[in-house]
Structure 1
Amino acid sequence: MTISSLPLVHADDEWSPLRAVVVGRAGRACFPSAPAKMIKATMPSEHVSRFQPGNPFHAKLIAKAEAELDYFAAILCAEGITVYRPEPDIDWVALNGYTGAMPRDGLMSVGNMLIEACFAWPCRAKEIEIGFSSILDDLSKDQRVQIVRRPESAFANTLLDDNVADNTTTATTWAINNSRPAFDTADFMRFGCTIIGQYSHVTNQAGVDYIRKYLPAGYSIEMLDVDDPHAMHIDATILPLRDGLLVYNPTKVTETELRRHAVLASWKLHAYPYTPKAPSEPPLYMTSPWLCLNALVLDGKRVVVEASDHQTIQWYESLGMQCIPCPFKHVNSIGGSFHCATVDLVRESSA
């Protein structure tokens, strides 16, 4: 099958050659506001007080983050990858939103299907509609592509109601209940027809059941048991670098747990061997230094990595990867890294 004959959405793993991708834009980004229980469960304690309605990130920080996203997009274009960008200059502060820089949280490709997240945080409810509708309209012109939009029933403001049973699947009690489907698509990783996900403070059982309902025939979800009381997104916990090779955060998941999943049973699994350190400037307002695992693999041989993270670059190179350095510290500061900032649309799988 030639690239030109592939559907506009055609991706079901994290490592096959990337041919088309969405790269986010920061816009006039602000600290996302959400109920205190949701914020305290997930955000760094020293920054919790910043997560108030209408509190923008500093303009200089956003300008630098936007420049990094543009540079990242240019790198991908230079590699021959088709890059889609969301609407520019969105005033997320006025909209009581967050940003358009992290589309991985809200969209996931599975085969020829694109699934929109049922966000738990109210401030993100319309993020995909506001920032990415034009992209979805373009993709939907291909009749082979199915786009699953968030239904009205998934906007119900009931996730903190006390009279609904908690979504307690492990020793951790999550901030949200199971009253309606809730999930961020960044809580899932694709391994061919097997999708590995995690429950978290933004993903509940009803959300997992919702995704299962819409998956193409032959696809399944398996849930990873992660030891993370602040769990929110799986893409700083595990990272498949190529078919048969995965790196992981040993403070959150064990090799035994990873091998419990048949799709990973025979893979080479490497724990990140260092304790990553947070930069002093700019601050990591929303994340941990484990963003070192939040990288974008281009083809199972090359991976885009933060330019200043020489320790991680050397380690990935020791595993046989070619690293493409890209400055991304200011994007990191507002909530994510290369995997967060993208949505795979087309990967040319050999399967």
Structure 2
Amino acid sequence: MSAIEPAFVSAEDEWSPLRSVIVGRAEDSAFPSEPEHMMAATMPSEHLLRFKPLSPFPPAILARAQEELDNLADVMRKEGIRVYRPNKVNWLKMQGYTGAMPRDGLMTVGSALIEAPFSWRCRRHEITLAYSEILSELGSSNSGVTICRAPLITGEDTLYHGMLGKSRTNGNIPTSRWSINNSRPAFDAADFMRFGKVVIGQLSHVTNRRGVEYLRAVVPEGYTVEILETTDEHAMHIDATLLPLRKGLMVYQPERVSEHELRQHEVFHDWELLACPITPEPRQPPSPPMYMCSPWLMLNALSLDEKRVLVEANDKEFAAWLTTLGMEPIMVPFGHVNSIGGSFHCATVDLVRSGAKD
């Protein structure tokens, strides 16, 4: 791989050779705390009692997660990839969540780095606290980078208003398929993926239609945003539903989206679309609990280029199948990062992929 690139932003797909990346940090992460109906809609039921204010993740899990993230950064550097790391933040003290999942809050589209207008209140200051120094460096690099900061929320946030009704028999019940209304723009960047000039995303419990409209307004000229119809009742982040491995080849989670629906989008008309044939099993001890994710986090892999893909060290059957597709899996331990809410795609933001046009 060539020498490290100067500081700039340029990426328009998920598979071109990775040159520059943000890798998250796990220290002092805490369970997110949002209204009960949001947590019930998005989190595994067996762990719901942990999602309350000032509830830290177990220290031993965080220590191992930080080691895994540091190792991932080292793996990237050895490949000649420029690595940025966020500030260390005491998320428990700040009543926040984590700095380990930068993909949720930042998205590169061409030469723009777009900050997500989070729906979760506990994440409202996440980018400012952890990533402002990175954004300042990139924005002052005289390389044509556009930094799109999320709109400020002033006064009361009304995103949850009216989202629960009363049932005569069961108490509070959701009044909508989703856990947020449309009173302001909201999305998580991890609900979107880049396929050249087309960005594919989904509506979810954290992404609303006004959020999609906002994203359409801020992406660079020439890019479009299209919405994929999924059947996932717990939808939150599309990167465990779609896994584009290289141009023209994508794996998808067949319980959440169909090939027929994917084919409705012109960008996929000549792609090989493969339903994942492996149903992942829940991890058993001594693996740490999956507090926030389903076993389908297996699909949250990360292509370093059109051959090499990062795969969690436990997902050996999945890795073996990927080799039959011509991919070269790089097995990296990441189970403790998985435990606190994501895998390789979640824990990174690709700033430069060399296939993108500057």
TM-score, normalised on structure 1? 0.95
Residue type matched to 1:175 in 2?
Answer: S
Residue type matched to 1:180 in 2?
Answer: R
Corresponding residue of 2:40: 40
Corresponding residue of 1:220: 224
Q: Is the 8 A contact 2:4 2:19 kept in 1?
A: no
| Runs of 4 or more above 3 Å deviation | 2-7, 153-156
For residue 315 of structure 2, the aligned residue among 296, 309, 312 is 309
Distance across 1 between alignment mates of 2:295 and 2:56? 22
Residue type matched to 2:352 in 1?
Answer: V
Distance across 2 between alignment mates of 1:154 and 1:292? 38
Distance across 1 between alignment mates of 2:324 and 2:23? 28
Q: Deviations over 1:305-336 (max 9, x none)?
A: 00121111101111100011100000000000
Superposed, 1:252-267 pairs within 5 Å as 252-267=256-271
Corresponding residue of 1:284: 290
Distance apart, 1:64 and its partner CA: 0.3
Q: Is the 8 A contact 1:241 1:300 kept in 2?
A: yes
Q: Deviations over 1:185-213 (max 9, x none)?
A: 00000001000000000000000000111
Residue type matched to 2:252 in 1?
Answer: Y
Distance apart, 1:296 and its partner CA: 0.8
Q: Is the 8 A contact 1:118 1:154 kept in 2?
A: no
Distance across 1 between alignment mates of 2:156 and 2:202? 22
Distance across 2 between alignment mates of 1:154 and 1:181? 13
Corresponding residue of 2:240: 236
- Establish whether residue 347 from structure 1 lines up as the match of residue 353 from structure 2: yes
Distance 1:172 1:160, change over 3 A: closer
Superposed, 1:73-222 pairs within 5 Å as 73-88=73-88, 90-143=89-142, 144-153=144-153, 156-162=156-162, 173-222=177-226
Distance apart, 1:350 and its partner CA: 6.2
Secondary structure at 1:152 match in 2: coil
Distance across 2 between alignment mates of 1:274 and 1:258? 20
The 10-residue stretch of structure 1 (220-229 or 274-283) with the greater mean CA deviation from structure 2 = 274-283
Corresponding residue of 1:11: 11
**Paired residue total:** 343
Distance apart, 1:142 and its partner CA: 2.1
How many percent of aligned residue pairs carry the same amino acid? 55
Corresponding residue of 2:172: none
Q: Deviations over 1:140-192 (max 9, x none)?
A: 1123000000111488511111299xxxxxx9711100000000000000001
Residue type matched to 1:59 in 2?
Answer: P
Q: Is the 8 A contact 1:3 1:348 kept in 2?
A: no
Distance apart, 1:133 and its partner CA: 0.8
TM-score, normalised on structure 2? 0.93
Secondary structure at 1:241 match in 2: strand
Distance across 2 between alignment mates of 1:93 and 1:256? 44
Distance apart, 1:275 and its partner CA: 1.1
Unaligned runs of 5+ in 1: 165-170
Distance across 2 between alignment mates of 1:253 and 1:66? 33
Q: Is the 8 A contact 2:4 2:81 kept in 1?
A: no
Q: Is the 8 A contact 1:7 1:145 kept in 2?
A: no
Distance 1:85 1:4, change over 3 A: closer
Corresponding residue of 2:57: 57
Corresponding residue of 2:333: 327
Secondary structure at 1:233 match in 2: coil
Corresponding residue of 2:30: 30
Distance 1:251 1:60, change over 3 A: same
Distance apart, 1:231 and its partner CA: 0.3
Distance across 2 between alignment mates of 1:100 and 1:67? 14
Q: Deviations over 1:19-54 (max 9, x none)?
A: 000000012011011111111110011111110000
Distance 1:163 1:98, change over 3 A: closer
Secondary structure at 1:278 match in 2: coil
Distance apart, 1:7 and its partner CA: 6.3
Corresponding residue of 1:168: none
Distance apart, 1:67 and its partner CA: 0.2
Distance across 2 between alignment mates of 1:163 and 1:43? 18
Distance across 2 between alignment mates of 1:278 and 1:117? 30
